[in-house]
């Protein structure tokens, strides 16, 4: 089970890295457009590169959410301490939800541990992952949705 959590954490970290790289490429493209100093060929290449990175990151996110993440439901519910649960639920109740990286920082734990906590709460039906790509975040499930 610990090996599974480690793999889930690794995948989550890699997907986050992919989204960050796509955002950096898009920022570079936008800076070159604003600067007006890049040739049309360079702009086309940067645009294609940024789009390819974004597509790959989105595909990885979707695969993780649809194929790998449901297996995390096998994690025991008791893995989340009362204090950690309270912090996660407050963060997930925010309008934009919360990302794994933010939970890890708020709890002072590794991303793999944060993912294990989030997965356990998902298994309990307390939180849910919504959105795609960089917009994907964990949200509190409303009482009427349960």
Model pTM above 0.85: no
- The terminus-to-terminus CA distance of the chain in angstroms comes to 28
Instruction: Note whether 119 and 72 are within 8 A (CB).
Output: yes
pLDDT-derived band of residue 76, with 50, 70 and 90 as boundaries?
Answer: very low
Q: Is the per-residue pLDDT at 134 higher than 80?
A: no
pLDDT computed for residue 60 by the predictor:
77
Which residue, 12, 98, 26, 29, is CA-closest to 55?
26
Q: What confidence score (pLDDT) does residue 98 get?
A: 92
- Please report which confidence band the pLDDT of residue 146 belongs to, taking 50, 70 and 90 as the band edges: very low
In percent, how much of the chain has pLDDT > 70? 80
Tens-digit pLDDT profile for residues 118-130:
888 888 888 998 8
For 42-54, write each residue's pLDDT tens digit.
Answer: 889 988 888 888 8
Q: Tell which phi-psi region holds residue 76, choosing left (phi > 0), alpha (psi between -120 and 50) or beta.
A: beta
């Amino acid at each position: 089970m610990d090996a599974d959590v480690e793999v889930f954490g690794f995948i989550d970290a890699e997907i986050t890295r992919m989204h960050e790289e796509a955002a950096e490429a898009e920022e570079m493209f936008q800076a070159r457009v604003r600067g007006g100093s890049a040739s049309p060929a360079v702009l086309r290449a940067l645009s294609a590169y940024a789009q390819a990175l974004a597509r790959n990151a989105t595909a990885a996110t979707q695969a993780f959410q649809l194929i790998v993440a449901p297996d995390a439901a096998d994690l025991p519910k008791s893995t989340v301490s009362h204090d950690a649960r309270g912090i996660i639920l407050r963060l997930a109740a925010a309008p934009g939800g919360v990302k794994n990286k933010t939970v890890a920082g708020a709890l002072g734990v590794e991303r793999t541990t944060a993912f294990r906590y989030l997965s356990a709460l998902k298994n309990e039906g307390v939180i849910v992952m919504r959105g795609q790509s960089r917009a994907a975040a964990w949200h509190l499930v409303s009482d009427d949705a349960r």
